[in-house]
Each structure stands twice: as C-alpha cells, then as structure tokens.
Structure 1
Amino acid sequence: MRWNLRRTLAAGAALTILGVGVPAVAAYSEDDPRSCNDLLGDDTPAFVVCKWLAKPDEAREVAMFWLQNDGENMKDAGPLDAIVVDCETPGTSCPEIEDEGVTGGEGDSLPEDYVDPTVPPECDPPGGECFVDPSKLRVGAEEVRAAAQTAEGKALAAARAAGLRVWLNTELADDWKAGKERFTAEVKRIAALAAQPGVAGIRFSSRLGHDDQDITTAEEARAFVADASRALRSAAPGKKLALHTLVPEFGCGANDACRDEMAKKYPLLAPDLVGSYVTSGAIDQIALDSGLVGEAYAPWKITAEEALRNQWIQVRARAWDAYAHVAAEDATLTGVGGSALTADQAAETIAERVSRPLMDDGAETVTLWSRWQDADGQVHRVLGDGLANTPTWDQLTKLDAVKPRLATLYDPAAPEVDVATDLKKIAEVFSQVYLTVA
C-alpha cells in the first residue's frame, strides 16, 4: 500500500493529539516548537519523545476562555446533538437484534447462572416458603424515627458522638431458623437501626458453624448466609454486611493429620464452605477468630504463634481479600475482672495478635474483644473495674499509627459505667465499634 505525504501528516497529527510517544526518528524536527523533550529525564529511552498538547500559555488561554465572565461559555456549552437513525424511514436499513431479552450470553456482564432477584425462586419442596418479598422488608420513616428512640438507637447516637465508626452486631441464625415471619420482623428491626446516621454495616452472625445449635448442615449454612444477605441488602441498601467465624484447618499448616482431625471435628468450618460465603459476594467483610489457637494444636506440636502464621498464610493464598474485607478477631487481651498481663506481656501479645496479622497482609483490621461475659457470668475485661486503666490498656493506647484499623465489640445492655462514658473510653484506642443490638 502506498503511504503518501498526506497520510504521513495525518498519522503524525493523530499521534500528537493523543499524546502518544513516537520514535525519535519519526519526529519532524528537534527544533519543533511543540517539543517538550527538555522535560524528559536523562534516562529516558531515545525512542520516546515529548510533544505539548497545549503549551503553558495556550493552556492558560483555554482556561480563561471557559472561566471568563463567570464561566459564561461553560454555561452556554451543551452536548452535541445526538445522531439518531430512524429505522422506520424508507430506505433505511437497520440490523435485526437476535435473541433480544436473553441475558447471560457471551459478552454479557451477567453470569450464566444469573437469577433475577425480582422473580420468586422455586422452593424445595414445591409449595414451601423460601422467599421473602423485598417490598415487605422496606422500613418507613416512622419506623426509623421510632428506632432512634430505643436503647439501641440512643447507643448508636452515643457512639457517633464519641467519634466511632459503627457496625450493628446481631445474630440472625436463630430468627432464620424460626421461620419467615420472625426472620422478616427481625430484619426490619435491624434495618431501621441501620438507617440511623453513621452506621457503616451489619454483622449478622458470629461464630457461624462453631457449636451452633441453629445451623447444623453445610446446606443450611449456605442457605442462611444467602437468605440473610439477600434480605439485608433489600431492607438496608448500601450497608456493608459481615459475619464472624473461624477455620480451624488453617492453623494446621501442612500437617495432614491435624487437618484431617479438624475437618472431622468441625465440618461446618471447612475452608471451602467458609470461602463460599466470601466468593459468592454475600458478605463484604469476614472476621476470622483465633479462639482455637493455643492448646488445640498442641497434639501436633504446633505453637500458637505458628498456628496464627499458618492461618494468615492460608488466607493470603486463597486471595479472600480480593472478594471481601478480612479482619482478625481476638479475645486474648481480656481477663476475669481485668487484664492481668504486665506491660511487657501485653506488648508481646499485641505484637503477635494485632501487629502480625496486619504486617503479614493477612488482615486489614483487627477486632479485639475488650469486655465480654462468659457462660458462668464472669466478666472478662481489658480495663479494670469501673474503666480503670491496666498495663494492657496503656499499651493499646500507643497504637495510634494503626488506630483506624482497630475495632472492638460493645453491648449497651451491659454497660460498665454508662453507655456514653464507656464508648468515650473505647474511642481512646479503637476507631470502630460493633454495637450489639440483638
């Protein structure tokens, strides 16, 4: 094909307009007034050249054109008239659209197994109840105002006043198991609280699959997570969804005997099952507990530190962070009546349970239990009685650099002093709080 002068000039102009680097041999002249080669570094390859799209004085003129007279030209400017082809006009030929209305085909953004959320699913067995109408989940302004006046609503306001980012912490597994009516009512209650100012998201289950009397099979676990996610996204649009669980097999590392035993003992905490919650898009955050780290791995001579390292290696290898926010969760710093750790012990534990997951890129945030009550009624705290400081708390206050990544849980129904005072104290160390609203 002949390449004449006109084509050469046209190609060069196009490259210049696009700001594309062209070989030096193609430059028209080293003395080109639009050349900006002098701005290139000394190590710039010889085949790269620089040409001004608009020189500084020209750029100023362009800016002034649009800004002068209080932006008159900008206000007068409008989109170009659309080019419309009327297929009904005689003599006009328009292509026929094949398979109109079909989704999920090649080149379509929808997956092949896409299910229209507006169409009720077929229940198994047929005729059963397995679908909650999204319209029945919507909450009105009156319900939102009423929620603000509840104890939980006032606690949310207190947390916001303390400068904390707030998540709702609840458990929907028992409500889901109880049936559609109770589940729908609880979802609406949570949605009304989630509509309060400053609420970032909802954690709808904790320790899912571990000693859980409500969820007994993998199929139930998947169905619960899917149903809870679907209902909450309809009732509380825009709020992030989270759940908390653990994966005992992760702590085993490459020890096959350990993995086999954990798989038998905790079938509802299998890596692939827990991973399905993440990769399905049902949740936006998953918190992995370190509750089994310690004596649980002793039979295989795996230390707590090794088990934790193994866990985060597995999380990274599975790329869960590509699908959802990954958080570490730990209660090690608490003790009955208050943390009994010395300053040195606390610093060492913080390095292992807080710093390590963050530094290893296993977790993006760390949730530390700061106060909780066991089955015997004993209160475990990081702080002492009446919010008294402990060496452990003092060590935590030094973590300013990672404070945005630190969260804790708080139950306003069981305050240490009072809700406002407790939350103000929490804000000394943590930037986020999971407020129990169950």
Structure 2
Amino acid sequence: MRLRPILVIGLTLSLLGVGVPAWSQDDPKSCNDLMADGTPAYVMCRWMATPDQVEDIVRFWSNNDNQNMQAANPPTGYHADCSDPANTCPNDTPDSEAHGDGDPDVPGAEDGGTPECANGDQCFVDPSEVSKQDLAKAEKTTGGQAVKAAASNGMRVWIDTELADDWKAGKLDEAVKELAPLAYQDGVVGVRFATQLGYNQTFTDADELDKFVAEASAALRKTLPGKRLAAHTVMPVFGCGANDACKTAMTEKYPLLNPDRVGAWLAKGQLDQLALDSGTDYSTWKIDTATAQRNQWIQVRAHAWDAYAQIAAEDASFAAAQPSQDAAQPSQDATKAITARIATPLQDAGASSVTLWTRWQDQQGQVHRAYGEKWGANATWDQLKKLTAVHARLATIYDPANPEADQATDLKNLSAVFGQVLIHV
C-alpha cells in the first residue's frame, strides 16, 4: 500500500516532467530564484505572501493604533438550545450518568475498568503489573545503573536493544517482558528495538521483515504503553539522487530497503522515530559523501516521512581511531566535520536530531573515540561541547558493559554535549 501525503503527488509530477502551472517559474508567487544552484527541479519554493503583500497585511492590522486587530474576534458559532423539544442534541456519555473515582468506566468493568481490544484480549500491560522486586532488580543491573546515571545528569534515556533474533527464535514476548523493568526506570522515554533493518543479513524476505516490525511494535506498545519506539536503518537508494544507474544497483543490492515499505512502518504508527545512517560508498557513480547526504535528505522530505515520525541522522564518523591526544583532529577539521555531519542535517535537511557514535571497537580490536582516551584533551570533543544551542537535539550511544572510565564519569562527560543517550543492553 502506498501511504503518502497528497503533497507528494505534486512533487512526483514535477519529477516526471508533468507541468503544474501554479508552481511554474512564471508564477508571481514563485521563490525558486532564492534556492541554491543545483537544487533538484522537483524541489519547489512558493511565497504564501510575497514581500509586497506582507507589507499590505501588516499595514492593514496596524493602522489606526491596531484598530482592526482589536476589533477582531473569533466567530461566535452556532448554539442549540437542548431544552427546546424541537432540537435534537447528541449524547456523548455512555450512560448519561456522572461517575466518581473508582467507579467502572464501562458496563461490566471492575476496579475502574480495563481497556480491551475488540477480540477481548487486553491491549496493554498496566505498569503496576511490573513488580517492585523486578524494578529494583533491574535498577541494580549494569544497564539500570547507566540509566540512573544518565537521568541524574539530565539526559533523556532510550534503551537500545535488538529484538530481531528473539523474534526469529519465537521468543519475542519473553524478551519484551524481560526488558520491561528496565524500560520502566525513571528517565527512560523509549526503546530502540532494531538496527540496520533490512540492511544487514538478519532478514532475507520482505514479508518477514514487515511482520517483525509489526509484531515487535505491537508487543512493545502493549507492554510499554506510553514509551516511544525507534529503529535504525540505511537507505542507500536515497543517496543516488537522480542517477538511474546508481538507483538500479542499490535497489538490486538492497531489495528489502524499498522506500514505500519503510514509509509504511511510519505511516502505520509502528515507529515514533527512525534513525538513518549516511549511506554507503557512491564513488562508482562519482557521488561524493556530501552530495549523497544531501540527496538522502531531499528524498526524506519528498517522501514526507517527517510528517509521520521523527527522523534522526546517525553518524559514526566522529569516532576515530586515535590512541593518544596527539592524533586528535586539528580544530579546523573538527569544525568542518561538525558543519557537514551535524549542522547540515539539522538546519538544511530537516533532521529532528543527530545521533553520534562517540565510542566503538572495530573487528581488529581498535577503539574509535570522539574524545581522548580516558577523557583526555581532544579537539573534536572541545568543538562538540560548544554546540549548546542544539544540546537537546544531540544523542549518543553508550555501552555500559564497555566504559571508557566508569559509568558515572562517562555519562557526566557525555551529558556536556548530548541531551539524549541510547543505553545499549
């Protein structure tokens, strides 16, 4: 099923060369001339009110000491006299009776009522059903201590886990139930339940992938009502832009990553946030990294994914293999990287947030860091700490099982840059 806003139809028509007169360059409200050189033809700009019209609008409301503004009132609307026998008024209450605290919400319900699905099954798990013993036990785990440390430093916390293997093993419900006490810790706002969806080798069949997303989302919604759900993937075809040869090659190489399929996860409400990596190598088609990133975010906007969920940019390039502070990037290189990897997605591409990998270990055992070893001086980290204006929009991933120093020290330092953290468990 293609689930796209009507606006995308106009963009598609432009992309296919079908004329849309109201959006043409001859349109007096067109502002296409303000867009940068090289902007794709299907990206349109149109004034809601031209600068001249804005002056007239301001003048209308401000003349005579704002008389028109003061005289403006909302419409009074239509009021029906329900005491008049000639009028029929709707009755919105189930039984027309007031209910006190503790009274059943629906006929037959007890103890205040329990929401039920149409088939009679319980649609959610009451948080009170997670025992105090389980909550206390989860708090003492490595992950629980990391959650506590992050929350105490003012960070919004996500639990970062992988449920795909549990689902394939038929143990999804058990895995979600085990996760619940940790997800209910103070400060946890949501769960990221999968990474590299459709990009890695976990799923080889599109229907299987869709079924996993649907069932994992449903299980988490039921067990963790109110918690936000997230996933991570890569959209290689988006980086191709208008290069048909590239798009064909990426579609063949990554058949599960169909934009309509991924968009349907968002439109159906199965995800509240989707993190997108920066793609893959496009050098075969002479597409550099900056151009591929720009192409990707243009496609995200064209597909209107941000209308359904938060779209985050994810990047591991800040974490470099640097055994000592002498190998740190010069300040100017760090500033350039921040502009390309953080400022551009947030300001121009419309990403709601940016998730940076600040520490990870490769297959050779080499540790990659965005900061100095044992929190030593580092030009990149010094530049990142200056981004106070976007602090709330920056997130990182932290593995409590592999600390840089210790959890308290690590999370205190991370909170200086990041307003959000994904605790990996």
Are residues 1:307 and 2:292 paired?
Answer: yes
Q: 1:84 and 1:192 mapped to 2: Cα distance?
A: 56
In structure 2, the residue matched to 1:42 is 63
The one of 161, 167, 170 aligned to 1:170 = 161
Deviation of 1:387 after TM superposition, in Å, equals 1.3
1:350 aligns with 2:342: no
Q: Which amino acid aligns with 2:200?
A: D
Shift of 1:141: 3.1
Q: Paired residue for 2:132, among 120, 141, 144? A: 141
Shift, 1:249, TM fit: 0.4
Q: Deviations over 1:98-134 (max 9, x none)?
A: xxxxxxxxxxxxxxxxxx94538xxxxxxxxxx9986
What's 1:127 paired with?
Answer: none
Q: 1:83 to 1:291 in 2, by over 3 A?
A: same
Q: Which amino acid aligns with 1:320?
A: W
The alpha carbon displacement at 1:93 in A equals 12
The residue number in structure 1 matching 2:262 is 274
TM-score, L = length of structure 1: 0.69
Task: Indicate if the aligned counterparts of 2:195 and 2:233 stay in contact, CA closer than 8 A.
Answer: yes
Q: Distance between the aligned counterparts of 2:72 and 2:414, measured in 1? A: 57
Q: Against the structure 1 CA distance between its residues 52 and 328, is the aligned structure 2 distance closer, same or farther, given a 3 Å change threshold?
A: closer
Is contact 2:235–2:279 with CA below 8 Å preserved after alignment? no
Q: 1:139–1:188: 8 Å Cα contact kept in structure 2?
A: no
1:196 and 2:181 matched? no
Pairwise mapping of residues 16-415 of structure 1 onto structure 2 (< 5 A)?
41-42=62-63, 50=71, 117-119=117-119, 139-179=130-170, 182-213=171-202, 215-292=203-280, 296-337=281-322, 340-415=328-403
Q: Which residue does the alignment assign to 1:34?
A: none
Partners of 1:218 and 1:303 in 2: CA distance: 30
- Cα distance in 2, alignment partners of residues 279 and 52 from structure 1: 37
Specify the SS of the correspondent of 2:423: strand
**2:240–2:292 contact (8 Å) kept in structure 1:** yes
Consecutive unaligned residues of structure 2, counting only runs of 5 or more, are 1-59, 75-81, 90-115
Partner Cα distance (1:238, 1:278) in 2: 17
Q: Give the Cα separation in 1 of the matches to 2:200 and 2:241.
A: 23
Asked if 1:430 is matched to 2:421, the reply is no
Q: Matched residue of 1:407: which SS?
A: strand
Residues 132 and 287 (structure 1), Cα distance of their counterparts in 2 relative to 1, 3 Å cut: farther
Over 3 Å counting, the alpha-carbon distance change for 1:261 and 1:132 in structure 2 is: farther
Please tell me the residue identity of whatever aligns with 1:416: E
Post-superposition CA distance 1:133-177 (Å, at most 9, x none): 866995333322221122211111111112211110000000011
Q: Contact between 2:397 and 2:423, CA under 8 Å: does it hold in 1?
A: yes
Count residues in correspondence.
331
User: Is residue 151–residue 187 contact of structure 2 (8 Å, CA) maintained in 1?
Assistant: yes
Look up the SS of the partner of 1:430 in the other structure. coil
> Where does structure 1 differ by over 4 angstroms across 4 or more consecutive aligned residues?
43-49, 82-85, 92-95, 131-138
Q: RMSD of aligned C-alpha atoms?
A: 3.1
Q: Deviations over 1:238-294 (max 9, x none)?
A: 0000001010000000011000000000112221222121111101000000142xx
1:291 and 1:330 in contact (8 A); partners too = no
Given that 1:291 and 1:331 are in contact with CA atoms closer than 8 Å, whether structure 2 keeps it comes out as no
1:84 deviation in Å? 12
Question: Within 2, Cα distance between the matches of 1:393 and 1:48?
Answer: 50
- Structure 1 residue identity aligned to 2:215: D
Aligned to 2:54: none
On the 8 A contact 1:172/1:183 being kept in 2, the answer is: yes
- Label 1:323 to 1:431 Cα distance change in 2 as closer, same or farther (>3 A): same
TM-score when scaled to structure 2? 0.71
* SS of residue in 1 equivalent to 2:71: coil
What corresponds to 2:13 in structure 1? none
Structure with greater contact order relative to length (CA < 8 Å, sep ≥ 6): 2
- The 1-side partners of 2:179 and 2:298 are apart by 35
Quick one: structure 1 residues 306 and 143, their matched pair in 2 at CA, closer, same or farther if it must change by over 3 Å? same
Q: Does the CA-based 8 Å contact 1:242-1:284 persist in structure 2?
A: yes
Query: Judging changes above 3 Å, is the alpha-carbon distance between structure 1 residues 133 and 48 closer, same or farther for their aligned structure 2 residues?
Result: closer
